[in-house]
Structure 1
Amino acid sequence: MPTAPSRPVRWYNLLAYGSNDVLGAGSMAVISTWILIFYTSFCGLSAAQATIIFGVARVLDAFTSPLIGHVSDNIGRSWLGRKFGRRRIFILAAIPLLPSFAIMWVAGQSFWYYLVTYVLFEMVYALEIIPYETLASEMATDYKTKAKFAGARILCGQCSAIAAAFLPAWLIAYLGPDSPDTYLYMGVIFSGLFMGAAGLLYAFSWERQRPPELAEAEARDKPTLGAAFAALYRNLFSTLRIRAFRLHLGMYLGGYISQDIYNAAFTYFVIFALAGSTAIVGQLVGVTYIVQLVAVVLAINFALRLSPAAAYRFAALSFGIGVVIFLAMYAAGYTATSALFWLPVVFAGLGRGALNYIPWATYNYMADVDEIVTGRRREGAFAGVMTFVRKMSQALAVILVGQVMQASGFVSKATTQSPTAIAAIVGVLGLGTIAMLVFGVLVSTRFRLTPRTHAILLDEIERFRGGERQPADESHARVVEDLSGWSYDRLWGNNPVAEPGRP
């Protein structure tokens, strides 16, 4: 089934892995930028009804995403898992279901139609993306190769985000600003891209060969369905007992929720506060994503040579400056047609690109920190938590924007809005974005995973595997204790995190 961990990683493996973020980042970019305006302008839904759709999807996701992560960790003992891979079988199964993205964008349907189609795509997304997020750790062990996987992922994701911005603008220019078919055609095109990317991922990826003793233990340990469900959330919540992962989640939430709030409010900000149009939105967002692509390249080098946390702080500062300039120009009375609006776009894009890359680069090392605590590899559990948190954060951002707009008197399908509604949109974009950036920066000051500390971590893991129970020296002990959050004598399974019967 899986191949040896020493298998060389070629350029086409990196490209195939990265291309799958056309689904990960591309779908999220399309949804966060266009779904609210589509629901409220072409489907007749109120902002409150749109937020109900996201809320229901998140409740269901609280069950499905962790379940997929748990199953992918344990399906390796079955015939299907041995034949197709415990991760890759999910990717294969998701390919024919990915056109569910297109049917979300059919205008003129009922509230229930949009609820069901959105929930369906979210489940298919989780089915594919959670196993995908484990593959970098499966295919590589060293810091630099994992960073390359993260870089390939984010670079391809940024390219798909550029398409998510410009494609609607091109379709609007061809079909007209009032045609709902713009969004349907966009959904069809992206569905095709999703299927092609998932096929490449399956063809050019592999999984790490587990040690024989672990495979034998899994073969003996066949829990009942009830026991599996009992272990599910216990194992998932136990990931939060890993200090580096808690800090990583804080940085992730700060960087991504700030962007989700910005994305959800930006379309309304340009159209109603700056007297712009959806075509201008597409152009501004598209240029932002192009700048983000450049920023990812810079962030890859910065994070590899220095500290991911330091790169994160520079990125947050740049994004924040862009937001402040936008607000200052709005206060000064500029409109969206002003050439000066490219200045905040550049600042915001540079910051957002790095904020996209850094959390996913550090995520690839979380299973290593967990291994020194538990003595196990639980990539699936971490992927389940990450996907759930990602979709929950996006939904909360959209819900926040929608509810504030509804409370401020926003009117669906109206070409103009009241001063109160516009002030609410401006306030959410400014205060909401900056508040989350500040939160992420504060968390980053405590995050100390670097190339040097990761090398020490791997060295100590090998010592534990070899039967050693004392650190190479005191500095190594301090490093792994800081990353794990546990004292050295409690590592390698000597703690409640590793005990299946305890939370």
Structure 2
Amino acid sequence: MKARRITPFTYVSYGATDILGAGAVGVTGAWLLYFYTTFCGLTAIEAATIFAVARVVDAIASPLIGFISDNFGGTAIGRRFGRRRSFLLISVFLLPCFALMWVSGQSFWYYLLTYIFFDFVYAAVLIPYETLASEMTSDYKQKAKFAGARLLFGQAASLLAGVLPGRIVDFMGKDDANTFLYLGLIFSGLFMIAVLLTWSQSWERDRTGEPPEAPRRGNPILNLYGDLWSTLKIRTFRIHLGMYLSGYIAMDVFNAVFAYFVVFALGSSMVLASNLLGTVAFGQFFGVMAAISLCLTLQPAPTYRLAIVLCGAGITSLLAIYLVKPSDLNWWLYGAIALAGLGRGGLAYIPWNLYNYMGDIDEVITGKRRDGTIAGVMTFVRKAAQALAVMSVGAVLEWSGFAAKAATQSQATNFVIVCVLIGGTLTLMVTGFAVSTGLSLNNKTHAVLSSVVSRLKAGESEFSESDKQTVERLTGWTFSALWGRGPLNRSTRWTR
């Protein structure tokens, strides 16, 4: 089958669904804890419990969705609409549930159930979606552009998530809880349009001629979680997860506590917090554009470290502003936030750019494509990371004596807010900097990997020592154990 032509509109249509991916994370990460504790009467611990319970459910749901999407092509629906794309089409009609999360005055159980249900729908879209770039192309540069397109849309959604609440507050008043309901309704509509656009303009790899997978013995549930665990035995995937978690948890902690920092520690307003979060997203937008270019020249790992330096400088500036409290406070805040946002663009883009190549590295080990399984791990880790960040912030706020619905907080609570915002984010980013030094994936090593896979498919068995060493460093396995010859278990030898 002839490869389909990828046009600029293809990139735009693909990237649109990250309005859901980043938009939902941006809105919930920045505002949901604040909404629960300020307008719903929940304690910080009750709010944190919602995120904790949802992650337990997600530990089952996300891997299962990834596994099902890998095997959905054999069903009538999968053959008609695609094993990945079917999930997008079905989920479009469930996405309005996002607005239900933002209804004030309900019980703890209402908020728990609405959050869990949306979390499930989110996974049902994002896990299959994350495999589509690898389904649509195998070219290194095209995959980088797909990653760039989705992150640009994601940053636009984050910008909207930051500034829109402030605009609604200006219109409705700072004490009206319906601010967040309208926010949820607007984003629900955007999510539906974006996912439908991606579904209509995407496609999946032609699998004609691929041999059917042999039936697997043993308990299917144990096999499922065995597959998930096996992805962590891939060296580059482990490094990728370390970079991903360090950067994204740092951003999640920042988002979760930033509104508290502005409103309570600096004694300002929710409108200013909203405007500053919008400025962060604006900076991230340009940071993503810069990172797309740098990843193809400077390469991913050095670009990631440069992003950490920029973001760290902006966050450190916030500490100086808090201590000095200059008379023109707002302007200093906007400058620091813009610098942090520029660095955050790189932290947001690079892990998702790297993700598009994880299926290629896994294929040289297993001899098959497990993009859905890898996507299931990624989505679970992403949501678990955000929940861990928000839960931790909630627990620390409760420990510090945070008073729900209070106009001001104690000096001790404000000090803790500052420590979490500055110390927590910087510690995580330093960890990511260190982890990135072990990454060897770039356009040259990926070209070697692609060549080796093609030659293995053609039945070749002789390879140069240079090619072997490159692939071994990417996979973490001895070359003799690759291409399905060494099952992913303890009996197989690792190179490191």
Q: Is the CA contact (8 Å cut-off) linking 1:373 and 1:493 kept in structure 2?
A: yes
Aligned to 1:96: 93
Shift of 1:5: 7.0
Q: Note if 1:236 corresponds to 2:233.
A: no
Q: Deviations over 1:66-124 (max 9, x none)?
A: 00000000111222211111101111110110001000000011111100100110000
Aligned to 2:479: 488
Aligned to 1:497: 488
Q: Note if 1:185 corresponds to 2:182.
A: yes
Shift of 1:498: 8.5
Separation of aligned partners in 2, 1:17 and 1:498: 36
Please give the secondary structure, in 1, of the residue aligned with 2:96.
helix
Q: How does 1:77-476 map to 2 (within 5 A)?
A: 77-214=74-211, 217-218=212-213, 221=214, 227-334=219-326, 337-471=329-463, 473-476=464-467
Q: Is the CA contact (8 Å cut-off) linking 1:274 and 1:334 kept in structure 2?
A: no
Amino acid aligned to 1:352: R
Structure 1 unaligned regions, length at least 5: none
Task: Give the share of equivalent positions with the same residue, in percent.
Answer: 50
Amino acid aligned to 2:430: V
Separation of aligned partners in 1, 2:440 and 2:210: 33
* Higher deviation after alignment, 310-319 or 228-237: 228-237
Separation of aligned partners in 2, 1:335 and 1:9: 52
Q: TM-score, normalised by structure 2?
A: 0.97
Q: Is the CA contact (8 Å cut-off) linking 1:409 and 1:421 kept in structure 2?
A: yes
Change (3 A) 1:46 1:181: same
Q: Deviations over 1:407-430 (max 9, x none)?
A: 010000000000111111111111
Amino acid aligned to 1:452: K
Aligned to 2:469: 478
Q: Deviations over 1:243-276 (max 9, x none)?
A: 1100000000011000001111111001101111
Q: Is the CA contact (8 Å cut-off) linking 1:5 and 1:140 kept in structure 2?
A: no
Shift of 1:306: 2.3
Shift of 1:469: 1.8
Q: Deviations over 1:118-160 (max 9, x none)?
A: 0110000001110000000000101000000000000011011
Separation of aligned partners in 1, 2:296 and 2:343: 17
Q: Is the CA contact (8 Å cut-off) linking 1:74 and 1:86 kept in structure 2?
A: yes
Please give the secondary structure, in 2, of the residue aligned with 1:494.
coil
Q: Is the CA contact (8 Å cut-off) linking 1:306 and 1:450 kept in structure 2?
A: no
Aligned to 1:74: 71
Amino acid aligned to 1:201: T
Please give the secondary structure, in 2, of the residue aligned with 1:235.
helix
Q: Is the CA contact (8 Å cut-off) linking 2:321 and 2:329 kept in structure 1?
A: no
Please give the secondary structure, in 1, of the residue aligned with 2:232.
helix
Shift of 1:213: 3.5
Q: Deviations over 1:198-218 (max 9, x none)?
A: 11011000000125142xx24
Shift of 1:180: 0.5
Separation of aligned partners in 2, 1:32 and 1:256: 11
Q: TM-score, normalised by structure 1?
A: 0.95
* Higher deviation after alignment, 265-274 or 74-83: 74-83
Separation of aligned partners in 2, 1:489 and 1:17: 38
Q: Deviations over 1:279-315 (max 9, x none)?
A: 0011111111111111111000000122100000000
Aligned to 1:48: 45
Amino acid aligned to 2:362: D
Amino acid aligned to 2:224: L
Q: Is the CA contact (8 Å cut-off) linking 1:294 and 1:353 kept in structure 2?
A: yes
Separation of aligned partners in 2, 1:425 and 1:270: 10
Q: Is the CA contact (8 Å cut-off) linking 2:127 and 2:376 kept in structure 1?
A: yes
